[in-house]
Amino acid sequence: MNLKTISRRTILRGMGVTIGLPMLQSMMPGRLLTAAEADKDAPLRMAFFYVPNGAHMPDWTPKGDGTGYNMSASLQHIAEYRDQFNVLSGLTLDGARAHGDGGGDHARSVAAFLTGAHPHKTNGADIRNGISVDQATAQAVGDRTRFASLELGLESSAQAGNCDSGYSCAYASNMSWRGPTSPMAKEVDPGALFDRLFAGQTEKQTRRAKTAREKSKKSILDFALDDAKRLHQQLPAMDKRKLDEYLYAVRDVEKRISGADHLRIGEDGVPDYPRPSGVPADLSTHSQLMMDMIRLAMQTDSTRILSFMFTNAGSNRNYKQIGVNEGHHELSHHGKSEHKQAQIAKINRYHLDRFAYLLKQLSSVREGERTLLENSLIVYGSGISDGDRHNHDNLPIILAGSGAGRIKTGRHIRYENGTPLCNLYLWMMQQMGAKADQFGDSNGVVTI
């Protein structure tokens, strides 16, 4: 059966709105492909998720190695996806160590997490770090997508101020660095991210489209409806279903961003409420919306590279929603207190619950025989191991996704303690197609 081939970069347009599409059968050249053949055309994605203040390592570290390891209490919260990730022990972030600079481990751990560099200690304008792995990769292959990379989080970035023992807030609140003096600020507003992805490719177009939607009270999809209908008529049945499912997901996220699920709906199906801006006050709602946006960004191939910070370095946020009333940073200095260690374990599990939601979303998207999750390499972890000791060896690291079949998942891999974390990053860069034989303090590549 011959098919009309459409471009992988096809987008739906309408009044300043641009909506990327998921990978469809019709984007394959000329004929219906088998799922195995379609797999070869699926892009590989790279992502990095950072949690602050280390982990309660006795609650985190699995017992045993390989596929037969015993999952720890913390990791039980992502146990449903056990066969979709590897737990990596022994990796080390030497750049986060003091090296004579005294205190400031929290700021250093974030600044070094993706760079492997030792940041210059200053709270002034003379910041100096290294380029981060996401940006180094984006400079090599980022031109293949609308956005070379996305930098996201739940707490805003700062570019100045003293945040940790003489270290600039630029270090404490940014883990993505375009160059030694150029931190990449995070987007924390899910509505602004939605507009950036779907409401136009320029800031002017985005503002115009947003204003038009607010005045008309229409969904972003309504502006591109004619284009969507024309495309729908050209597609085979399997692609029509996939397109319908995707457009439903976009509208669902848009409704939840605007709070439309809790509002009075008019006879025309449009919420009788202006689209609000700002960050949701509830952390769980905020994180879930951001995870949904990550799925859509990756599903539409809007970007293949992204970073995400749950909170900034040394965050002292409490987690009353799970019964933790004390601040996270204060608890991390537990001094072997059983109570504080139990509370830290609760926070670790909460973050993993948020991550599990993302894994669920990515594993629900099919791309040939594999899923969006399987076609990814996703690092989750921290630049500090035990928050009380402020050590930067034997870090709590997870690598989710099989890299489009490049690695075997479902294992606990124990590297020699002191193995540079950048050895993992160098391997990932090479899988993404970036030509590199050195990154940060790497001294080789990991065996996975």
211-226: average pLDDT: 56
Looking at residue 98, its pLDDT comes to 97
DSSP H helical segments within 32-72, as ranges? 35-39, 57-60
Reduced to 3 states (helix: H, G, I; strand: E, B; else coil), residue 268 is: coil
- The predicted structure's pLDDT at residue 5: 58
400-408: average pLDDT: 97
Where residue 194 falls among pLDDT bands split at 50, 70, 90? confident
- pLDDT reported for residue 28: 60
% of the chain exceeding 70 in pLDDT: 77
In angstroms, rounded to a whole number, what is the distance separating the alpha carbons of residues 96 and 384? 8
- Statement: 35-188+303-432 belongs to CATH 3.40.720: yes
**pLDDT given for residue 191 in this prediction:** 87
Q: What is the pLDDT of residue 216?
A: 47
Average pLDDT for 233-242: 72
Cα–Cα distance, 176 to 220 (Å, whole number) = 30
* pLDDT tens digits along 250-306: 677 777 777 644 433 344 433 343 334 468 889 999 999 999 999 989 998 989 999
Taking residues 423-430, what's their average pLDDT? 98
Q: Which of 263, 258, 260, 231 is nearest to 244 (CA)?
A: 231
Is beta strand 45-50 parallel, antiparallel or unpaired with respect to 370-371?
unpaired
pLDDT at 90 over 60: yes
Query: What pLDDT score does 146 carry?
Result: 86
Average model confidence (pLDDT) for the chain?
A: 85
Which of the pair, 316 or 241, is modelled with greater confidence?
A: 316
pLDDT in tens, 61-75: 999 999 999 999 999
Percent of the chain with pLDDT strictly greater than 90: 67
Give the per-residue pLDDT at 124. Answer: 94
- Is 80 exceeded by the pLDDT of residue 37? no
User: 3-class secondary structure for 360-404?
Assistant: HHHHCCEECCEECCCCEEEEEECCCCCCCCCCCCCCCEEEECCCC
* Cβ-Cβ contacts under 8 Å for 204 (sequence gap 6 or more): none
d(CA 338, CA 341): 5
Q: Which helix (H) or strand (E) holds 345?
A: helix 338-363
Residue ranges covered by each domain of the chain = 1-33+193-278, 35-188+303-432
More confident residue, 12 or 84: 84
Amino acid found at 241: R
Q: How far apart are the first and last CA of the chain?
A: 40
Counting Cα atoms < 13 Å in the Cβ hemisphere of 387 gives 30
Q: What pLDDT sits at residue 279?
A: 85
More confident residue, 175 or 225: 175
Cα(170)–Cα(121) distance, rounded to whole angstroms?
A: 11
Q: pLDDT at position 221, please?
A: 61
CB 240 within 8 A of CB 230: no
3-state secondary structure (DSSP) of residue 354: helix
Segment 1-10 mean pLDDT = 51
